[in-house]
Structure 1
Amino acid sequence: MRILCVFLGVLVVRAWALVLPTITMPPCDSPEAEMAAGVFQDYINAQRTSGFKYALNQIDEIKIIGTPNMEIYKMEIELLETKCHVLDPAPVTACPVRTKAEIAVEADCDVALTKTGGVLTVIEHRCKSEPETSTEDICVGCPHLLPLNDTNALQMTTASLAVFNSRTANVSLSKYAILEVGRLTTQVVSGAPKLFSEYVIVETNCTTTEDDNCVPLNQSMATYGFCTSGNVIANVSVDCRIFAPQQPVVEPAQNGTIPLLMIDMTGQLSAESVESLDPVKQASIISIVKRQAPAAGTVAPGGQSNTMPVPVCPGKVKFF
């Protein structure tokens, strides 16, 4: 009977050792941390349908929970807004990041990914975005953000698009309509206030000589563009760059991941619904994360030390 009890005790200890997750905290600038952050950067830019692309600025924290079937990455990541709209096909590496003087916008994200078969997948994330700092702390006369419903700035935006459409009338291009106003700013230039606008345009079924009943073309057929405009008093300037036709957007539900939950600088959610994972997979992940590992410095069943090295975090700042 005593031998049997000892045997059962050994089986229990070994079984516990098999299910106990391992926890590692690699340096924030390690290749595995950079790879996971890069996957999230690409994911967040691909999932968003409005606003500007984000570029990785710093990895603040990373913890990897190892299980027999997968690794779970828990990360804190800082992103910075670029000047490329999400519809711009340019890779994010080619997109300049806004400077502090241009009212840089920072997004702080809590991210969870899984790694199975060498493939990293974003399963959960929450981001909060806000201006990186006030321009008053940087320079006198720097631009200031305006609300996206500012009447004067929107009137200037509409006038600038009319200027662009009139330019293209001589080359038989379609008429464009405003799809989204991404940013409105004001700045004092030579003693006079100047308005600036950044907005996205979409091709319509009208030619530039037609004015009424214009409807944007289907996404698979339409071309899009990005315009910057400004004015001093009544003089309006505009510069637009037209993109290639866009590919259909892949819905988040089709790739099994959770869509972006971005909180803007006003504190409002820009995406209110969150797709759920498969209940079985979700329960498995939650149980693994909640399971407690032995404290640092103790020895887990099987004689393996659970001492974790001091993490080297946060990582280096890529921009500012």
Structure 2
Amino acid sequence: MWAHLLVALLACALITGDAAPPLDLVTCNDATVGAAVNLAIRHINEHHHHGYKFKLGEIQGHKYEKVGEGCNIDLQLMLFETKCHFTNPKAAEDCEMWEMGERGASASCTSMLSVQDGIATVTRHQCTTQQAMSNEDMFLTCPDCPSMMSLNDPDVMRVVAEAVQKYNQESNHQHYFALLEVGRALSAYIPSLGMVTYPKFALVETNCPKGSRIAPEACVPRCPDRAQYAMCGTSYSTINGVKSPECELYPAKNSAPLGPGEVEPVCASSFHQSAEATTCRTQMTNNDPALHHICPFPLAVQLPQQEQVHH
């Protein structure tokens, strides 16, 4: 059962974006609840600056409350994590969801919308993100399926660091790439190999040209709209060591060359080094270290403008 996952790493490819479909009009009519749900999920994904995109699993409830000439809409949604990292330009609606053995996550979300003067806006969302099935329950259902590991497990970080080094050595990019984040980490016992670790991780293009004397880990990532991203997978066993990563490459949104005298702009730190991440962690009731959780919106503490992270 696990054998097909052994070779299910991402193939090297250049992925072009699929434009998100236009949203239908949201009104205070129950007939447009689907449009309200689509707006709520798109809002969640647009404010989810780490991990993977989510899409609808089930509408668990909805309620309308008249307010003036408009209304408030309360949605109860079950979302499922997709295979598309947030840096992937593909629309969430077109992304595949993880299979059971690939250990996806689910999120139970409450989303509040306001409709006034014909304009619908999301005013709040709160989600509880959790493993679709715990390691213990998964073992009872599928003993051969992998276990989820903490994203910051020291062994995982060691494997990923070596894989990033291999990627920079073997790629033909003009610039070094740096680790953006670990997306998921699994482990499984393979009789011929022993325990095998399977991390997936996201890379971001830096300002350092290949061959520069600066260590890649010290390089500054390019601004989100000017950076290429890569989503990679590798494996590690004591017998085979760290395999060369296989990656999908996502092109930069803005590839226009700099003008005469212009220098590459420097942007805010990534999500994990931002005040947004710190504030998010303090507001979550469930903080499973194996997952990328959906942060509440709005955050209880207003972030300084320069610390807001956009990708």
Kept in 2: contact 1:129–1:262 (CA 8 A): no
In 2, the alpha carbon distance for the partners of 1:263 and 1:199 equals 25
In 2, the alpha carbon distance for the partners of 1:138 and 1:119 equals 47
Residues 264/245 of structure 1: CA separation in 2 closer, same or farther (3 Å cut) = farther
RMSD of aligned residue pairs (Cα, Å): 2.8
Q: 1:64 Cα shift?
A: 0.9
**Which residue number in structure 2 is paired with residue 217 of structure 1?**
222
Q: 1:94 Cα shift?
A: 1.9
Kept in 1: contact 2:111–2:126 (CA 8 A): yes
Q: 1:42 Cα shift?
A: 0.4
Where 2:177 maps in the other structure, the secondary structure is strand
Kept in 1: contact 2:234–2:242 (CA 8 A): no
In 2, the alpha carbon distance for the partners of 1:152 and 1:53 equals 26
**Which residue number in structure 2 is paired with residue 274 of structure 1?**
300
Segment of structure 1 superposing worse, 226-235 or 53-62: 226-235
**Which residue number in structure 1 is paired with residue 40 of structure 2?**
40
Unaligned runs of 5+ in 2: 1-27, 255-266, 269-278, 303-311
* Alignment TM-score, normalising by the size of structure 1: 0.67
Letter in 2 for 1:174: H
Mapping 1:5-20, distance limit 5 Å: none
Where 2:65 maps in the other structure, the secondary structure is strand
**Which residue number in structure 1 is paired with residue 272 of structure 2?**
none
Q: 1:219 Cα shift?
A: 2.8
**Which residue number in structure 1 is paired with residue 58 of structure 2?**
58
Residues 264/173 of structure 1: CA separation in 2 closer, same or farther (3 Å cut) = farther
Residues 36/270 of structure 1: CA separation in 2 closer, same or farther (3 Å cut) = closer
**Which residue number in structure 2 is paired with residue 198 of structure 1?**
200
Letter in 2 for 1:214: C
In 2, the alpha carbon distance for the partners of 1:235 and 1:143 equals 18
Q: 1:54 Cα shift?
A: 0.5
**Which residue number in structure 2 is paired with residue 143 of structure 1?**
146
In 1, the alpha carbon distance for the partners of 2:40 and 2:129 equals 16
What is the number of residues matched between the two proteins? 238
Q: 1:154 Cα shift?
A: 1.2
**1:239-264 C-alpha deviation (Å, 9 max, x unpaired):** 11221224799xxxxxxxxx987655
**1:260-305 C-alpha deviation (Å, 9 max, x unpaired):** 87655439985693378xxxxxxxxxxxxxxxxxxxxxxxxxxxxx
Where 1:185 maps in the other structure, the secondary structure is strand
Q: 1:159 Cα shift?
A: 1.2
**Which residue number in structure 2 is paired with residue 189 of structure 1?**
190
Q: 1:50 Cα shift?
A: 0.9
* Alignment TM-score, normalising by the size of structure 2: 0.69
Unaligned runs of 5+ in 1: 1-23, 250-258, 277-320
Identity of aligned residues (%): 22
